[in-house]
Amino acid sequence: MTEHKLKSEEQIYLAIASGQRRVDPRLNDRNFQPGDEVTFARYDAATGTEGAEVKVKLTHIARFAPGLFARISDETLQGRYQLIGLSRPNEAVVIPPSGAVTLKAWPENFAAIAQGSRVDLRAARPGIKRSSTILYQEFLPDTGAYSGNVAARAVRHITPWTPTAHYTPELLREHGVVVLGWKGLEQKL
């Protein structure tokens, strides 16, 4: 196994770091092999500086097939460029846009959010307000790592609630809390 360090401009870096980009075309100048580790550094071409980094493993290597691109000669691509397959990062990194909040979501919660659930019960957090953008990252507790799956939602309503004002701590421990969500009345009652 060989370790490589590659630079990637912001858009590509963010896609790799979040686990959304799983293939990257690269110049065949490093003898990439499946199992190699690659550290991608966020690169700002305007200033020539590097920033955050994320590490992935190469899952496979693919060569460009002859005649794949009509406007580029085969001689340009053959042997010079290849596609490297990337694993999801162990610690998928989401760099939220300005003002967005990143939250960890367990698989069941993440699945509900990704499928359109309209509610999320959370401990109150400073910085979350109406119209905030929330980036949910799926977290896998069995492995202690992020899966790379991300879902973005805009906050429409916030309803503060203190459960112990309505229920005893014993009742909460015994039965837990559920959140009921609905679209609206299906029929008039």
Both 52 and 111 in one domain: the answer is no
Give the model confidence (pLDDT) of 116-148 as tens digits: 887 888 887 777 888 888 888 888 899 888 887
pLDDT at 189: 44
CATH of the domain at 32: 2.30.130.30
Token pair recorded at residue 115: 């499928």
pLDDT at 124: 79
As for how many domains the chain has, the answer is 2
Q: Is residue 46 part of a domain?
A: yes
What is the domain range of residue 22?
3-86
pLDDT at 4: 94
Among 86, 116, 141, give the residue marking a domain's end. 86
Strand ranges inside 22-156, DSSP E:
23-27, 37-44, 49-63, 81-86, 101-105, 133-140, 145-154
CB 141 within 8 A of CB 106: yes
Among 34, 59, 86, give the residue marking a domain's end. 86
Residue 92 pLDDT more than 70?
no
Q: pLDDT band for position 93 (50/70/90)?
A: low
* Whole-angstrom distance, CA of residue 6 vs CA of residue 16: 12
CB 101 within 8 A of CB 129: no
Q: Is residue 156 part of a domain?
A: yes
Single pTM value for the model = 0.48
Give the model confidence (pLDDT) of 142-158 as tens digits: 988 888 788 888 888 88
Average pLDDT for 5-9: 92
Q: Is residue 109 part of a domain?
A: yes
Give the model confidence (pLDDT) of 49-75 as tens digits: 888 888 899 999 987 666 665 555 656
